[in-house]
A and B are shown apart, each in its own frame.
Chain A
Amino acid sequence: MTAVLVLASRAGSGAVSLGMEFCRRAGAEADLVWAGGDSLPAGAWRQAWRAGALTGAQAADVLGQTVSGASYDLVLLDEADGGREAAARVAARLDLPVIAQVVAIRADQAGVRITRSIEGGARTAVIAPCRPTTLAVVSASVGGTDGDGTARESAVLETPARTTLLEVISEYRPLPGELELDQADVVVAGGRGVGGREGFAQLEELAGLLGGTVGASRVAVDAGWIPYRRQVGLTGKTVAPRLYLAFGISGAPHHVLGMRNSSLIVAVNSDPQAPIFRLAHVSIVGKVEEVVPQLIGEIRRRTDARTLVAAR
């Protein structure tokens, strides 16, 4: 029987989702190393170990110990949360094959077949592993499911002590106003629909909560609601952040040219026909003045809860 090991740290993990789907179809069994919250992710696990929050290098140590003492056919990790680092380190340490950007796994009579995305997602390749154990890093584009899982046994894994050659000298979080548009991971942008300077003050609050900065369309800059250096588009700056939140921006071509390469675009606009919705990954028809305060409240509630747990 095919044996699978999953390392995950987040509810909605793609590795958990692909692993469970594979086990259901192939009649395989899966073990779990869980570095996440209290409840296990969805699935009937043969065995589960709990580990604390892990860096990529620590996850590699934990995974290396677990894999070297057992015979797993397939080890699944998520691309995020240090999964790439853990997979690459374990592969180099134990001389195991590793396949990245995995989007599907199936088993047929010839054995396990892994489908990975190539050429920036333009094509896929089907790969047949040739060695007994293969590491698979699941693409961030694979979504997962929530839910409570069950396991026959659950133990706590000790995280190995690791000496590091890196000394952290300083760490700081720039305020939204300090961060230049092209340096930000998160850009919270506003357009005509934001309504004025008060609306941009709310966007700045949201950007602060997300560790990002504020951008704007040309209309908002021309209206004097925000300085020109915050303008995104053909006549402003070109950005490609991990998250681009577009509030009240219609999506005129000169604006879209400056942000279309963002990894995740969320658009909120009261006009269901707004061109920005043709580009957005998540489209919400709604009023900016309603959605922004709700989102600020929700994010603040979550971060406060985490701070409280961390303080305990």
Chain B
Amino acid sequence: MSIVVLLRAVSDPELAGGIRGSSYRLDAPSEDAIALGLSLRSCSPAPMRGVAIGPPEWEMPLRDAVSLGLDEVERLWGPSAAAGDIVAHARLLACALSADARAVIAGGVATDHGSGLIPFALAELLGWPVIERTIDAGIEGADLVVRALAGGGRRTTYRMPGRAVLVAASGRALPYPTVARKLAARRAAVLAVTPPAGQAAEPAFTFEGFGPARPVTRHLLRPSTASGAGGRLRHLMAGGATPSGQARGAMAADASVATQLADLLDREGLLD
């Protein structure tokens, strides 16, 4: 039995020019996945392998993953991996899994520009169940027992006889690696694998260009009848929007506030 952790690195400008020699670091969801993997391994010793789809610049953060507790790491990269297609990535990962893999653990976002779709596509290809927002995992007898967050603050515990794809919930703390472990990890080998060209499919889409962030408004508030004329005017001039960082759209409390807030929570899926 082995545990596979999906890893992803992100560029961090603060690391550029530093002594690490890499401006990439593991992203937070990958650290969540490692922490969950360590929790699973603590109750059932098993080799833990990291797999990433990324360029050679990711090798330093992958060694960081080794210092955090992974036994080995593998990096997949080639023309078929560089396209960023979710299904193609899932197929590559499915091929890279060893036959004895008991659980695949991913962070909240996956390797494809942070879409978070890879774990589901991978589960579909493997025919395994997938559990989102996992907070704890262990082995009881021959079964995998998993505790996950559900809506309305509920905790659900699942038991399954077979294998599963687990998506780690955020916020689990990782143990800080010792200096000796960090130094040893610096010399760890990262297995680089180029997927065979035959696995490359025709592109699903092409990137035509990039642009600035799109301003998005999640909620529109009606101007309050309780506010003064000036306040209502400011609210209307802000389009009723209350984007982060701007208090222009602040509304004064009146009888409709509770209704509007409850509508907002309902739309965000926060009311059970």
Chain A residues packing against B (C-beta within 8 Å): 10-12, 56, 60, 80-81, 84-85, 87-89, 91-93, 95-101, 103-104, 113-131, 134, 137, 139-144, 164-174, 179, 182-186, 210-212, 240, 242-243, 264-266, 268, 272, 277-287, 290-291, 294-295, 297-299, 302-303, 306
Contacts and interface: CB of A to CB of B under 8 A. Distances in A.
B199 interface: no
Interface in B174-228: 201-214, 216-221, 227
Q: Pick the most buried of A116, A265, A282: most chain B CB atoms within 10 A of its CB.
A: A282
Given A98-B87, A211-B272, A294 B216 contact: no
Given A123-B210, A123-B211, A172 B155 contact: yes
Contacts of A240: 170-171
B213 A89 contact: no
B244 A279 contact: yes
B153 A186 contact: yes
A127 B86 contact: no
B205 A127 contact: yes
A243 B271 CA distance: 11
Nearest to A268: B253
B213 A100 contact: no
A271 to B, nearest CB: 11
A244 to B, nearest CB: 11
A294 B87 contact: no
Grouping DSSP codes into helix (H, G, I), strand (E, B) and loop, the A interface class, with mixed when no group exceeds half, is mixed
Nearest to B221: A282
Given A174-B153, A298-B261, 16 more contacts: A84-B116, A87-B117, A92-B122, A92-B125, A100-B86, A118-B113, A134-B205, A168-B157, A173-B152, A185-B270, A210-B265, A240-B171, A243-B270, A272-B247, A283-B242, A295-B258
A36 to B, nearest CB: 12
B271 A302 contact: yes
B41 to A, nearest CB: 21
Name, among B161, B170, B242, B246, the residue most crowded by chain A CB atoms within 10 Å (CB to CB).
B242
Contacts of B152: 173, 210-211
A165 B160 contact: yes
Contact of A85 (B112, B130, B164, B259): B130
Given A120-B114, A127-B205, A172 B154 contact: yes
B211 A126 contact: yes
A97 B243 contact: no
Contacts of A169: 145, 157-159
B262 A299 contact: yes
A285 to B, nearest CB: 5
A139 to B, nearest CB: 7
Interface string B81-115: 00001110010000000000000000000001111
A4 B161 CA distance: 40
Contacts of B265: 210, 243, 299
B113 A128 contact: no
A166 B214 contact: no
A92 B244 contact: no
